[in-house]
Structure 1
Amino acid sequence: MTARRRYITTTIPYVNARPHLGFALELVQADTLARHHRHRGEQVRLLSGTDDNSLKNVLAAEAAGVDVQSFVDRNADAFAALRGPLALSLDDFIRTSSDPRHRVGVERLWRQCAASGDLYRKEYEGLYCVGCEQFYTPGELVDGRCREHGTQPQLVAEENWFFRLSRYADRLHQLISSGDLRIEPFARRNEVLALVEGGLHDFSVSRSHSRARGWGIPVPDDPGQVVYVWWDALGNYVTSLGYGTDDTAYAQWWATSERRVHLVGKGVVRFHAVYWPAMLLSAGLPLPTDILVHDYLTVDGRKISKSAGTTVDPTALAAAYGTDAVRWWLLRDVPRVGDADFTPDRLTARADADFAKGLGNLVHRIVTMVHRFRGGTIPTAAPEPSSVPTLVDVYRKTPGLVDAGLADFDFRRATRAVWNIVEEANRYVDATRPWELARAERQGDSEAARRLDTALGTLVTACHVLADELRPFIPDAAARITGQLTPVEGRLPAAQPLFPRLQEDTENTEETQPA
C-alpha cells in the first residue's frame, strides 16, 4: 500500500531584517507536524523559504546603505540558518529572488490566469500600506491607520494590472463552508467567510517598475510593471515544486498529494484563504486542503515584529537555553487561539519544571533503579494478574490522543497527552515503591521479586513510548532519552543527567529513591 503524501509549508517572510521568534513559532509548528506524519508512515515534504522581492526589503536596504541583493542575501541566509538552532527537518528552502525555479513558475501562473481572462489593466488610486504590501479601503482602517502596523497608508495613484477576484466569491464561499478548503481554528474560518460574504473586490497584482525600484519579477510582456509581491510570493508553494520548469515534483506533491497544508499567521489569512485559492481556481490548479492559522507572540503585550522593533532572536535564544527548551515552550505554552506573551523567565520556568524536575528526574530514577535492583538488565514486564496497570492504559492511548490533537492543530493538547505519561509514571513509582519491593526480595519474598520485575519493566516501556511520542516535538531530547533506555551489550547505560537546570535552584532534581 502506498503511503499517504502530505505537503506542508510555512509562509515565506520578508527579509527586511533578521528572523524573530514569531516566525520561529510557525517553523517549529510546521516541523512538528512534518515529523509526526513521517513518524506515522506518511510521505512528507516540508517547505520554507524567504520572500525576497518586497518593497520593504528595498527600503530597508536603502536605509542601511547597502545594495538590495547583498542586503537580501545576508538576511535570507539568517533565515536559512535557523535549521540548526531550531532542529528543523526541512526538505526544501526557496528564495524568491535567486532560485531559478521561481521566476519561471510565477510567469507561467500569470499567463494561465491571463488566459482565463482574469487579468486586466486599469488606473487606480488607493491607500497603500508598505508594511502589508497591500491597498486598503478607508473602511478597513482604524482611525485612518493600518490595523496590523498602526501606520497611515500612503495615497498611491498609478496604472496597474488587476485580478478578477470578484469572479470567484461564490466558489470560494462554497469551498470554505463545505470544508473542502479547511481553515483552522473555526473562528478563522468564520472570519474568512464573513470577508467573502461582505463582497470581494478585484485587487492590484502589479506595481510600476519605478515604484518597485526595479526590484522584483517583471510582468510577462509588460516590463514597465513588476509582479505584485504577494502574487509572486504565494506562487512559491508550487514554483518550489518545479511548476514551470519540471512538473515531476509538482505532480507528486501538489497535483496528487492527499493533503496540501499551509501554516500561516493570522495577519496573512486574507492572502492565503482568499487570494491564493482564487488564483489557483483561475489557473485551473488544485487548491490547498488545509490552512492552519496561528495567532501572534507578543512581548509586553505588543506583537513581535521586525518593523515594530519588538524582536526576540531565536538563534540567540537557542544558544542561551537550548533547542529543546525553545521548541517546548513554543509547543507547550502557546495556545491554539489567542496571543502568547513571551519572556525568558516563562521559557526557563517551563523547561525546568517539565524537563529537569519532571522528565529528566523520571528517566534518571528509572535507569538508576534498573541498575541498582537488576544490574542494569531490563526485566520483562508482565501485567498484574488482577488488572492492567493504569500507566499501561495511559501510554497505550497516547498515540491516538497525539494524533487527535495535531489533527486539530492543537499543539498544547498534543503535548499534554504525551505529558500524561510522565505524570502517571511518577504516580506509578510512588504506588509500587520499587525500593520497598527490592528490600522484600532480599528477605526472600518471591512475589515481591515478581512485582519488582513488572514495575521496572512497565516503567521502561512507558518511557520508550514517551520518547517515541516526543520525537516530533523535541527530537534531540527524545533521542537522548532513547539512548538512555537502550541496552548496550544487554545492560542500560549508567544514568546521566538529561537536562540542565536553567534557573538557580538548590534542589537536586534528578535523583532516585534510596534502596
Structure 2
Amino acid sequence: MSGRNSYYITTPIYYVNDKPHIGHAYTTLACDVLARFKRMDGFDVHFLTGTDEHGQKVEKAAEKAGVAPIEFTNAVSQNFRDLAARMNYSNDDFIRTTEERHKKATQALWNKLVEKGDIYLGAYEGWYAVRDEAFYTETELTKGPDGKLIAPSGAEVDWVEEPSYFFRLSAWQDRLLQFYEDNPGFIKPESRRNEVISFVKGGLKDLSVSRTTFKWGVPVPNDDDHIMYVWLDALTNYLTAVGYPDQECESFKKFWPADLHMVGKDILRFHAVYWPAFLMAADLPVTGRVFAHGWWTNEGQKISKSVGNVIDPLQLVDEYGLDQVRYFLLREVPFGNDGDFSHNAMVSRMNNDLANDIGNLCQRVLSMVYKNCDKRIPEPGTFTEEDQALLDAAKAMLPTVRGHMDNQAFHRALECIWAVISDANRYVDAQAPWALRKTDFARMETVLYVLADTIRRLALICLPVMPESCSKMLDLLQIPEDDRSFESMDKALASNTELTKPAGIFPRFVAPEEGEGA
C-alpha cells in the first residue's frame, strides 16, 4: 500500500463518445464518499477522475460530427467536469489523455516495456470491436439476428489484419496467478475475483498494443506508423496523475501504488489482468485493489439508448435533490451487485430514511432545545444507563463504519449508521422530554444534551455521503469547521452554545400531482 497516511483512489477515466449517465455518476460517487471519509479520518488523499479521449471510436464520432477529434473531446470532456461539479465530487485532479503530461508518461512506460523485452513487433489478425476498443477470439463471438458476428457486449466485430506491436501477456500468466494468490484482496468482490482467475487459468495470449489503421492516439516512440492501443494509453493515466515517469517526485513517492481503482464490471479484465502485468513488467508496484461494481437497470428494464431509458444523473438531482440521490445510490443496493432504479424506491428512501428517520430526529430535538433551553445546548446532569447506552452506540459507529468503508461495503456502513438513528428515535420516545419539561426539567436537559450530541456524531459520520445536508446539521449545532473531522468524534459536545432557530433538512417528497389542491 502507498503508506499509512496517504490514500490514492481513482475512477476509471470515462470514454468521451457520449454524455455522462448514471453509471459514471455511481462510480465517481463511490470514490468521492471514500475520499471524503479518508480525509476526515486523517489521510492525505489523492482522488482522481477524468476522460479517456483516444481511439478509433472517438475518431469516427468526431468525423461524424464534422469536427476535429480534439474539438470533439474538448466538448464532451467538459460534460464530465460539469457532472463532477453538479454532483459535488471532491476530486483532486481531472486528467485528460490528450494532455502532454499523459503522452510523456505513456511513452515512458512503453519504452520501459520495450527495454524489458516485453513488447515486440508482429502482425495482428483477428476480430476487433470498434465500440469496445477490444479484440475477441472466435469462441467469444455469437451470430446476431442479421448473421453478423457480435462480441459478448453486443458490439459488431470486424476482421482486422495489420502490423502490430504485442505485449508478452502470455509470459505473465503464472506470475499473475501467483500474485492473485498472494494478494487475495486485490480483486473485489469475491465473485469477480473468481471470474478473473478462471479467465487467466484459461490461457493468456500476447496482447496487441498498437494500431496503424487510424491516427487518433499517442504515437509509438520511434515508429510513427503506429499509435498505442487505447487500453495501454488509458490505464497509464493512473501513473500520469502522480508524476510518472519522475519516480522521485513527492506525489509519486507519496501516492504510488494506488490504493483503489474503482471500475464497472465490464472493464475489470483490463484492470485486473492487463494492468498488473504492465506494472510488474515495468518494475512498478501494483495497485492495492480493483473493485468492480455492478450495473443499474431502470424500473426493472436493462438500460439502453435504443429503448430510450438512459438515466441522466443531473435530471435525478433536479427532481429529487443532490444528497437524496447520493444517499439512495449507495444505500439501495449492496455495492458490487447490480441494482434497479425505481421512482418508488427513491421516494421511499427519501421519505422514510431521510425525512422521517434522521430529518425528523434532528428537527424535533433541536426545536425542543431551542424552545426550552434558552436557545442553548443544555448542561447535562449525571448520565443514566439509557443515556450511556445511546452515547456508546454513537461512539461505536466509527470503527464499524471504517471497516465497512475499507471493504467498499457502503450499504453496510449506512445500515450501521441507521441502526443508531433508530436507537435515538426510540430513546426520544422512551424518555419523552416534552413530558419531563413539566416534571423534571434538569432530566429533560440531560436527555436533550444526549440527543444533541448523538445528532452531532451522526451528522459527522454521514458527512461524506451527504455533505451539504450534514453540513447544515452541523451548522445548526454551531460546530466549528475545525471540529468536523473524525478526530473530534470523541470530544464532548460543548454546553451553553447558542443555537439559531432550527430548520428542516430533509423535506418529504411530494409528487406534483399529489401536491395539487393540498
Please indicate, yes or no, whether the TM-score normalized by the shorter chain is above 0.5. yes
- 1:165 and 1:278 in contact (8 A); partners too: yes
Paired AA for residue 150 in structure 2:
R
Pairing of 1:89-128 with structure 2 (within 5 A)? 89-97=90-98, 99-128=99-128
Pairing of 1:169-318 with structure 2 (within 5 A)? 169-179=173-183, 182-208=186-212, 211-212=213-214, 214-244=215-245, 247-255=248-256, 260-304=259-303, 310-318=309-317
- 2:295 and 2:339 in contact (8 A); partners too: yes
Shift of 1:452: 1.0
1:9-57 CA distance string (max 9 Å, x none): 0000110011111110000000111111111111110000000002222
Paired AA for residue 160 in structure 1:
S
Corresponding residue for residue 330 of structure 1: 329
- 1:242 and 1:250 in contact (8 A); partners too: yes
Question: CA 1:401–1:506 in 2, change beyond 3 Å: closer, same or farther?
Answer: farther
Report SS of the residue matched to 2:259: strand
Question: CA 1:505–1:461 in 2, change beyond 3 Å: closer, same or farther?
Answer: farther
- Cα distance in 1, alignment partners of residues 210 and 306 from structure 2: 23
**Paired-residue identity, %:** 38
Shift of 1:319: 2.8
Question: CA 1:236–1:249 in 2, change beyond 3 Å: closer, same or farther?
Answer: farther
Question: CA 1:92–1:303 in 2, change beyond 3 Å: closer, same or farther?
Answer: farther
- 1:53 and 1:215 in contact (8 A); partners too: yes
Shift of 1:383: 5.0
1:151-170 CA distance string (max 9 Å, x none): 33111111111100111111
Shift of 1:495: 1.4
Corresponding residue for residue 367 of structure 1: 366
1:303-339 CA distance string (max 9 Å, x none): 5467986422222322332210111111111322321
Paired AA for residue 95 in structure 2:
I
1:462-510 CA distance string (max 9 Å, x none): 00000000111111111011011227983211111212333249999xx
Aligned length: 493
Shift of 1:340: 0.9
The TM-score, its normalising length taken from structure 2, stands at 0.90
- Cα distance in 1, alignment partners of residues 208 and 118 from structure 2: 12
Residue 129 (structure 1) aligned with residue 133 (structure 2) = no
Question: CA 1:308–1:119 in 2, change beyond 3 Å: closer, same or farther?
Answer: farther
Pairing of 1:362-511 with structure 2 (within 5 A)? 362-382=361-381, 384-386=383-385, 388-440=387-439, 448-486=440-478, 490-504=497-511
- Cα distance in 1, alignment partners of residues 137 and 310 from structure 2: 29
Shift of 1:175: 1.3
Shift of 1:387: 5.6
- Cα distance in 2, alignment partners of residues 38 and 181 from structure 1: 22
Question: CA 1:504–1:181 in 2, change beyond 3 Å: closer, same or farther?
Answer: closer
Q: Which runs of 5+ in 1 are unaligned?
A: 441-447, 509-515
Identify the match of residue 145 of structure 1 among 134, 141, 150.
150
Paired AA for residue 147 in structure 1:
P
Question: CA 1:321–1:388 in 2, change beyond 3 Å: closer, same or farther?
Answer: closer
Shift of 1:437: 0.5
Report SS of the residue matched to 2:377: coil
The TM-score, its normalising length taken from structure 1, stands at 0.91
How well do the aligned residues superpose, as a CA RMSD in angstroms? 2.3
- Cα distance in 2, alignment partners of residues 304 and 405 from structure 1: 29
Shift of 1:254: 4.0
Report SS of the residue matched to 1:495: coil
Shift of 1:249: 4.3
Residue 346 (structure 1) aligned with residue 338 (structure 2) = no
- Cα distance in 2, alignment partners of residues 96 and 302 from structure 1: 34
- Cα distance in 2, alignment partners of residues 244 and 177 from structure 1: 29
Shift of 1:415: 1.0
- Cα distance in 1, alignment partners of residues 433 and 241 from structure 2: 56
Question: CA 1:84–1:226 in 2, change beyond 3 Å: closer, same or farther?
Answer: same
- Cα distance in 2, alignment partners of residues 281 and 473 from structure 1: 35
